Structure 1
Amino acid sequence: MTDNATLIEISAFSALSGAILTQVLTGLFAYVGDKRKSKLELSKQYRDKQIEVAEHFYFVTGETMAVLRKSIEHWKDRNKARSGASVEFFNKEIKKLDAYMDKLNAENWKHNLISLYFNISLSHNKLIAANTKSHALYLNLLDIADQFKKANEVDKNMLLGKYHEGVFDLCSQYDDIYKMLESDMLTVKTALLNSFEIT
């Protein structure tokens, strides 16, 4: 009888141990599965935000690059002899482009978040520095143009040379910014494409 009782006790203990082990393993697998699902959901949310910010960046950067190209052409064209009406037309076009860019930047603020999600070369500080340099070069041209109006014939020749040099410097600055933006667009595109690769 004791062998039977011992066998019953061992069987009962084994069943209890099996049930506890099953519960522990079920709980562990559920925990691991929930953690994996949570991680996948966070990863999906991050990628969705990346895509959203990248789309805004692409749109605004593309428009900015178009404006830079038009500005370069405008300044290069100003070096040619033009009538007052032509110059006035170009100046109005540039003002329209500036107004459009201001509106675009105000409405598409998400593109400013790009450095949170991608390693771009034209950081916020570099962009401010580039804009500051562009403004300084532009103001220099305005100063030379104003001096030109008041100068005598001898000084006008010297100022004209300075003006052409200033236009070249401003166009070079715009071209440098254009190249940085182009490089950053490629960086963002490459990073997005890589994020969709199945590993």
Structure 2
Amino acid sequence: MTQGRAILAGCAELLSQTGIPDVQQLQKHGALDIILADLKGIRLMVLGRRGAQHPVGSNLESIIRLQKKPVMIVPEAFSVPSRVMFAFDGSEESRRNLRRLTLSPLLQGMECHIVMVNGDAHTLEEAKRSLQSAGISAISRLAEGRSVTVALCEYASDNDMDLIVMGAYGHSSLRRFFIGSNTTAMLEQTRVPLLMLR
């Protein structure tokens, strides 16, 4: 508990240094699903990527799966993003997330790269136009590769992206069991902050 309080105090101090004066600190213990159910009023959950003994924290995937609100996963050193990559696959979930982004102030003033791996160029251009119609500076890129995760990570690295926005765990649990999850792979492979939309 002492370590948890120290971490919260450190986070509150960092936030106050950036001009956010009123920081609510809440430390809870117990079953993860019960803790998350108590946090109904939150709009965004921000979590550190690194666990005590693993590059990706042990509770991170469980939280992302259980939490129905957006979750931002950040590395230890974080800076305010100016270039964002939206991973778009043309699915209905991805289109819903695109609509959410066009209604949100999140991307305003940022350069948004909408990236689709091995997809349809026409679908990608429609998505780009949706962002532009909302006043968002958008660039579309069709990436190629056998691995969606590798293609997205390479694009983010090659183009100095500050933030990656993507849907989280959009496929069935059976599909994830047999072929894996792009969400899990992105958590493991990229060092860029991730905003997971649910």
TM-score, length of structure 2 as denominator length? 0.20
Structure with the largest fraction of helix: 1
Larger radius of gyration: 1
Structure with the largest fraction of strand: 2
TM-score, length of structure 1 as denominator length? 0.20
